[in-house]
Structure 1
């Protein structure tokens, strides 16, 4: 858990992960959150993001391809529920209510298709929600191209007060020029959340119950609400298409490689190296061009990986040399058998 955090001693947190969407633009029978990014489904990256946060319970709302999603979730400490009818994000959150039991605290709501969000951003957002005493907080971002995202409406001096969120399909031409977007991430008082969801309707282009409408309910009731523009542009991007998936892979790969360089790993032609998020490296490891590292591969201190080598679930001892074009998999026992200097 995050140490020295204002979250310690605060009201308990629960998390609702929205993972019911089909992902029409993916052109696939596979549920959107089950499309793989660097070796694991999109929702796996979101669950990793939450691992170290002080959250008492996690509920995942599934829908399209529910069985496949639930099978994957079996290895995680989460409570899956099914949204039988796709009636919108507001309805999806209502489907999670029973699974939260008698929770009296804060609810973090996050989408299962946001693998680029950073743990530090989410932790800061939760801390800000608690320290400000707000009932409702919304995480926003400013995008150069906000097409496809709901726009944040503000008023007052320098736009200090949030007025609501308008989905792009319902937005006017003037509203579509706004660049502050809704990331789909909320921190909400549990009592207010479900009272507000009971009050919203489905009078919109989609005929759905929008979770975003709870912002308007908060404003109309004079409840303390705020939008925190804290997420960097690339963190806010969701994955809605194959192109989005490819873009997310590029961004996440670059982060992983840079993090390992800061730790003490050297890359030759670093942009050519493919490395998944569960791979563990040690200091003074040298990785040659076009190396592929997958699964739970571990590489010991000072090891050298030759160009075009492929390692999947492998264990490379300290000081070892993997020759160029090697193919090492745990199932083959190859990498585990390598000795220093081989």
Structure 2
């Protein structure tokens, strides 16, 4: 059995935040979620997360039966260190298991790296394996000292390294793979007789080496994967790398992203091939976008389903669906539970909320459509308002197929405009408009001759 122990108990004081460090988000997901997903993606059967500070919030977010939470005690007299944290999961480790130790603040780690480390550890017959990286500037990191055979001789901390050892660029990532039985054995032998008074996992490597167990090292291909998040600056670095990684994957699938550096797409969004995405676009949550769409600048889409050949320009779409060949925007807003049909036009400054608009209908500009059912081939003129709220309750408006709603009209719900019903411009409709009926609901126009001269306004130019 493969087991992961993910250390997520750190306070994260440098984040200067009330939120636990591992719940801060990178491309829409908590940092810890990426680590858990990498572990699960590597087909690790048992995932143990060690929590401490903010543990209740972390447990509340990850309501997942496949994750086992263990709490690291917190207090003035409680020892600390990576070794002590790993000890909290010791009762979940089987003797015949392979255990990988990961960190909850390294969101860039991938399932491929986790798999490769475990496979390397097992295929080479190591009792302990360190994930290492080769970096240009190793200052501050523990150096990997190897034997002639390539096995690890020792890990030397930077402050203890000789000048020759400081020239070594292979460093300790802090991620390890162990035989389960030997890990438990070595954890029982480590102590905190050091300057910090802490228990370190690094000491497990030393103990195994001293007792002639076989200890190896696997060099990671991309050293950025071991980047930890301890500050807002490091969070921004991880965000940039993850965003570029996600966008690169979409482009490999046949999606055009004109400027990847200025396009934000969360992992898990589905996008069809030959869709074009312009700069400034934000796509979040459980969104699905079809093929041959054009998503133009400064559009935001959240938890929505977009059909094929849809064009959206500078608009906001929330928890809604849009049918094929529909045009949205610019500056339109689809609020939650809007269902837009095929070949529909929702134009400039049109807001739709909790409404159905069926195929081939149009609302070209400056309209509010709330709590409505609009049929096919309906024309909604400029300045139309679906008056859905009386101050206490919301009511629905129904507009039948082929109806025409003239500009600057108010439809006061609950009200029905039947099929082929016509509403004259400037009307306020409070009663049903029958099939094929023209409804005019406005006061007669009154022209008062000589009014300007009587008021003395004539010379005020």
Give the structure-1-normalised TM-score.
Answer: 0.89
The Cα offsets for residues 143-194 of structure 1, whole Å up to 9 and x where unpaired, read as: 122334333233436xx23122244465566544432222222111000001
Answer whether contact 2:39 2:47 (CA < 8 A) is retained.
no
- Superposition map of 1:244-323 within 5 A: 244-322=234-312
The Cα shift of 1:338 comes to 5.4
Report the Cα offset of residue 341 of structure 1: 6.7
| Residue in structure 1 matching 2:205, options 208, 211, 215 | 215
- 1:169 touches 1:205 (CA, 8 Å); kept in 2? no
With over 3 angstroms needed to count, the CA separation of the structure-2 counterparts of 1:155 and 1:131, relative to structure 1, is closer
What are structure 1's unaligned runs of at least 5 residues?
Answer: 1-11
What is the CA–CA distance in structure 2 between the aligned matches of 1:338 and 1:310, rounded to whole Å?
A: 19
- The question of 1:77 aligning with 2:51 is answered no
Contact kept? 2:208, 2:214, Cα under 8 Å:
yes
Q: 1: distance between equivalents of 2:100 and 2:339?
A: 42
Which residue, 112, 115, 119 being the options, matches 1:120?
112
User: How far apart, CA to CA, are the structure 1 residues paired with 2:110 and 2:219?
Assistant: 14
CA-CA distance at 1:38 after TM superposition: 0.8
What does 1:218-233 correspond to in 2, within 5 Å? 218-233=208-223
Matches of 1:227 and 1:144, distance apart in 2: 18
Mapping for residues 55-134 of structure 1, pairs under 5 Å: 55-75=44-64, 77-85=66-74, 87-100=80-93, 102-134=94-126
1:141 CA drift (Å)? 0.4
- What is the rounded CA distance, in whole Å, between the counterparts of 1:107 and 1:312 in structure 2? 38
Whose RCO is larger (CA < 8 A, sep 6+)?
1
- The answer on 1:179 being equivalent to 2:169 is yes
SS in 1 for 2:87: helix
Deviation per CA, 1:215-242, whole angstroms, max 9, x where unpaired?
A: 1111101101101112312112111211
Larger radius of gyration: 2
Unaligned 5+ runs, structure 2: 321-334, 346-461
Q: Offset at 1:118?
A: 2.1
**Using a 3 Å threshold, how does the CA distance of structure 1 residues 230 and 270 change in structure 2: closer, same or farther?**
closer
- Deviations 1:34-88 (Å, cap 9, x if unpaired)? 1111111100111121232222211100011111111112135201000014511
> Contact (CA 8 Å) 1:317, 1:336: kept in 2 or not?
no
- Name the structure where helix makes up a greater proportion of residues: 1
RMSD: 2.0
Label 1:338 to 1:93 Cα distance change in 2 as closer, same or farther (>3 A): farther
For 2:173 and 2:114, locate their aligned partners in 1 and report how far apart those are by CA, in whole Å.
12
- DSSP 3-state at the match of 1:138: strand
Query: What secondary structure does 2:14 align onto?
Result: helix
Q: State the partner residue of 2:426.
A: none
**8 Å Cα contact 2:36/2:47 also seen in 1:** no
What is the correspondence of 1:166-205 to structure 2 with a 5 Å cutoff? 166-168=156-158, 171=161, 175-205=165-195
SS at 1:210 equivalent: coil
Aligned in 2, Cα 1:251/1:338: closer, same or farther, shift over 3 Å? farther
Which protein has the bigger strand share?
Answer: 2
Q: Is the 8 A contact 2:229 2:238 kept in 1?
A: yes
